[in-house]
Amino acid sequence: MYRIRYPQDMAKIRPYLGDQVEDDELYVRPGRRMPTLASALVVQARQRSGLTQLELAKRAGTSRSAISDIEHGKRDPGLERLQNILAAAGFDLLTRLAPHDDHDEVLKALGARMDPEVRQAHNAAMGEFYDEARQAMAHSRPLLP
């Protein structure tokens, strides 16, 4: 699974998309859904352009159910189809090669070595930390005007 990284000026997508995450997945609250890369891009493009699923589907020459399936991670559109859908929403998909970052694999390996009870307690503590950080950020002012 790939982690979605957002530029600072881009709004986060809603966390209801993609495959169900296992309860013992490292640093993820139990029961949260994580987006696939394609679903995250399609939802982000659609939301930023202010389109409904039906409007995007008409522009992309497909059905609303196909857009919904892609957004929920039930269908993989492939790279060319993904580019067409994003273009229909008014965006280009820019890609580049970068050296591999094994950060996620290292964290997952560390979590796999923990006892299940320790991992569950660790995940609960991380969840509380993230909740507190989100609350603090929700009440803070932006650094730049």
Residue in 137, 47, 45, 124 with CA at minimum distance from that of residue 92:
45
Nearest 10 degrees: Cα torsion 11, 15, 16, 18: 100
Name 40's Cβ contacts closer than 8 Å, sequence gap at least 6.
4, 13, 17, 18
Beta bridge partners of 33: 20
pLDDT of residue 25: 43
**Does residue 10 belong to any structural domain of this protein?**
no
* Tokens read off for 111: 């979590």
3-state secondary structure of 20: strand
State how many domains the chain has: 1
Q: Is the dihedral of CA 122, 126, 132, 135 positive or negative?
A: negative
**Does residue 124 belong to any structural domain of this protein?**
yes
- Does residue 11 register a pLDDT over 80? no
**Does residue 3 belong to any structural domain of this protein?**
no
pLDDT of residue 34: 55
**Does residue 109 belong to any structural domain of this protein?**
yes
Range of the domain at 79: 37-138
Q: 88 or 29, which is more confident?
A: 88
**Does residue 4 belong to any structural domain of this protein?**
no
- Helix 78-88 / helix 37-49 crossing angle, nearest 10 deg: 10
pLDDT tens digit sequence for 17-53: 334 444 444 444 444 455 788 999 999 999 999 999 9
Which of the four pLDDT bands, split at 50, 70 and 90, describes residue 67?
very high
pLDDT of residue 144: 63
CB 40 within 8 A of CB 73: no
* Tokens read off for 120: 């569950």
Model confidence pTM above 0.85: no
CB 73 within 8 A of CB 18: yes
Beta bridge partners of 20: 33
pLDDT tens digit sequence for 97-145: 999 999 988 988 888 899 999 989 988 998 999 888 888 887 777 666 5
**Does residue 25 belong to any structural domain of this protein?**
no
Q: What are phi and psi of 20, to 5 degrees?
A: -70, 135
**Does residue 114 belong to any structural domain of this protein?**
yes
* Tokens read off for 41: 């891009």
- Does residue 5 register a pLDDT over 90? no
Give the type of residue at 110.
Answer: L
